[in-house]
Amino acid sequence: MKTWLIDTGPIIAYLDRGDPAHELISTCLDPFSGWLCTTEAVILEAMHFLAAHREGPSLLADFVEAGELHVYGSCEPGQIRKATQLMKRYADTPMDFADATLVLLAEQIGATDIVTLDRRGFSTYRTNRFKAFRRILDPP
CA separation for the pair 108, 127 (Å, rounded): 10
Percent over 70 (pLDDT), the chain: 99
Q: pLDDT value at position 128? A: 85
Give 138's pLDDT tier (boundaries 50, 70, 90).
Answer: confident
pLDDT digits (tens, 9 = 90+) for 73-101: 999 999 999 999 999 999 999 999 999 99
pTM > 0.85: yes
Q: pLDDT value at position 120? A: 93
Q: pLDDT value at position 115? A: 98
Q: Taking residues 40-45, what's their average pLDDT?
A: 97
Percent over 90 (pLDDT), the chain: 91
Task: Give me the phi and psi of 130, to 5 degrees please.
Answer: 65, 25
Q: Taking residues 124-134, what's their average pLDDT?
A: 93
Q: Taking residues 39-60, what's their average pLDDT?
A: 95
Query: Which residue ranges make up each domain of the chain?
Result: 3-135
Element (H, E) at 113: strand 113-115
CATH of domain 3-135: 3.40.50.1010
Q: pLDDT value at position 108? A: 95
Q: Which residues of 59-95 are buried (b: 16+ CB within 10 A; e: fewer)?
A: bbeebbeeeebeebebeeeebeebbeebbeebeebeb
What's the chain's average pLDDT? Answer: 95
Q: pLDDT value at position 67? A: 83
**51: pLDDT strictly greater than 80:** yes
Phi-psi region of 110 (alpha: psi -120 to 50; beta: other; left: phi over 0): left
**139: pLDDT strictly greater than 80:** no
